[in-house]
Amino acid sequence: MNKLLFKGALLSLMLVGSAGAQSQDGLKVFISVDMEGITGTVNVDDVRRTGKDYDYFRQTMTREANAAIEGALAAGATEIVVRDSHGSALNLLPEMLNRNSKLLRDWSDGPMVMMEGIDASYDAAVYIGYHASAGTPNSVLGHTSSGDVTNVSVNGIRMPEAGYNALMAGHYDVPVVFIAGDKAICDEAKALLGNVETVAVKEGIGQAALNLHPEVAREQIRAGVERALRNLDNYKPYKLRAPYTLTLTLKTEKNINKGALYPGAKRTGDWELTYVGKDVLEIMSAYKGMRR
């Protein structure tokens, strides 16, 4: 091999090695998308398949997911996974979703639910369309998991869905850096997680909601996600100390009796169940099992 050919071959090997290193070191982002916190949704029918405006709002949901994806790409993301986290988990429109992402649809039998697919390979988690916990004043469509749950706490700390989802991300040392939804969840998330970038796309006024224009909401989501991901060092994974004490309050005697059959669950009060576990995934498995 002459010197020119040798240099060309060496350069090719260096480029291949460099590309591989860049791929391994790229920014990997997990985006969980719910629907009650999307711009404009205010009534239960807005987020149900049988609702007359559901098809419109699933488009809005997909567009807000795209805004988050665009923000992540602008910050240098090389891999993005979007988790459909509402209801049937079959809401986001695949053809409309930004092609630079992968979409996870439907539910599995594991404990991760809205965080299905996350692991230690991710650099950050982003929540779009999230809502406050059940009973939060001036929340828009506020609830926790299902209509049967009135409260969830871990180690005595009241948890919205964003809270225990952040614990699951924290289990893998992944920080939650951005949340978009109604003002109530933005306030709740800041009080719980500390430093987290938020965009309130609407504000509850009793049963009503004052909304941003959808285009404005998307602009703010795009900018907020990019800003958060460009400043990853500002955010820390959300963690609590083991052992983990899960306390669950349900609405009916029937559901409490069923939940108490889960191995390790104990009835500790009026319509209240408690489970103590060694790690986050164990208590989330119990949470899922006690609600069946």
What would the pLDDT profile of 117-163 be if each residue is shown by its tens digit?
A: 999 999 999 999 999 999 999 999 999 998 889 999 999 999 999 99
Q: CA-to-CA distance for 117 and 169, rounded, in angstroms?
A: 10
Domain 26-149+158-239 has CATH 3.40.50.300: no
Q: What is the pLDDT of residue 24?
A: 56
Cα 63 to Cα 20, 30, 56, 183: the distances in Å are: 32, 16, 11, 20
Annotated binding site for Zn(2+): 34, 36, 86, 131, 161
Higher pLDDT, 27 or 2: 27
Provide CATH 3.40.50.10780 ranges for the chain: 26-149+158-239
Q: pLDDT (tens digit, 9 = 90+) per residue, 240-267? A: 999 999 999 999 999 999 999 999 999 9
pLDDT above 90 as % of the chain: 89
In the numeric block, which tokens belong to residue 39? 């711009």
Instruction: Answer yes or no: are the C-beta atoms of 197 and 268 closer than 8 Å.
Output: no
Q: What is the pLDDT of residue 146?
A: 86
User: pTM of the full predicted structure?
Assistant: 0.91
Provide CATH 3.30.1370 ranges for the chain: 241-292
Q: What is the mean pLDDT of the chain?
A: 92
pLDDT above 80 for 15: no
Q: pLDDT (tens digit, 9 = 90+) per residue, 163-206? A: 999 999 999 999 999 999 999 999 999 999 999 999 999 999 99
Q: Which of 143, 183, 218, 222 is catalytic?
A: 143
Which numeric CATH code is attached to 241-292? 3.30.1370
Catalytic residue status for 143? yes
Annotated binding site: 34, 36, 86, 131, 161
